[in-house]
Chains A and B, each alone.
Chain A
């Protein structure tokens, strides 16, 4: 079975902190994605990566950056966390079907 794991299920950070969310997949997938999910707004793509060191902006990249140094790991970085980044963050990987991680519920206070 494909496994996508995320570093934390719940995270509480203070405004202005640098936040790292990590995602690891074990199926050698080229494509990896970071989404945020908010009530009433559905799933929105922040960034995706289609190969090591390759990345593209999604629909809402502002305030975020990403890193993919190894094929299995895709990190989302909040350079200076703000309260409007409080959300559920979901990572996914795919070759054809898309497999989602369990999500990280981030609260920025």
Chain B
């Protein structure tokens, strides 16, 4: 079983829809990162969180440490949100080493 499980693996939405991507992990962590990669593009860090909830614009990330679960929400989705979203918990050591989920490929249609 993978240490990090993301769902769904693929997601197609209509513009304006509310989107949720889920991430479950089985290891102890110090923080969890959500990353974004546009087609043919580089990887950008969206959030790093260790508790509660963070919000940047239309994106919201939550984490429940006890349940070992995190979610990424996109409100009022737009075609430019089409990308791969990667959940990446960071282990308990101070090396910054991440454990990567397989990613969720999101396509938002106009």
**B-contacting residues of A (Cβ < 8 Å)?**
31, 33, 42-45, 48, 50, 56, 58, 90, 92, 94-103
17 CB < 8 A contacts A-B: A31-B97, A42-B86, A42-B100, A43-B43, A43-B100, A48-B95, A56-B95, A58-B97, A90-B42, A90-B43, A94-B96, A97-B33, A100-B35, A100-B42, A100-B45, A101-B42, A102-B42
Residues of B within 8 A of A58 (CB): 97
A10 to chain B, nearest CB (A): 12
Residues of B within 8 A of A103 (CB): 42
B44 touches A98 (CB 8 A): no
Residues of A within 8 A of B71 (CB): none
**Interface residue? B31 (CB, 8 A):** yes
Residues of B69-110 whose CB lies within 8 A of A: 86, 88, 94-98, 100-103
If A42-B101, A43-B86, A48-B97 touch, does A96 touch B31 (CB 8 Å cutoff)?
Answer: yes
Main secondary structure of the interface of A (DSSP, over half): strand
B100 touches A31 (CB 8 A): no
Question: How far is it, in angstroms, between the C-alpha of A98 and the C-alpha of B87 when the chains are bound?
Answer: 13
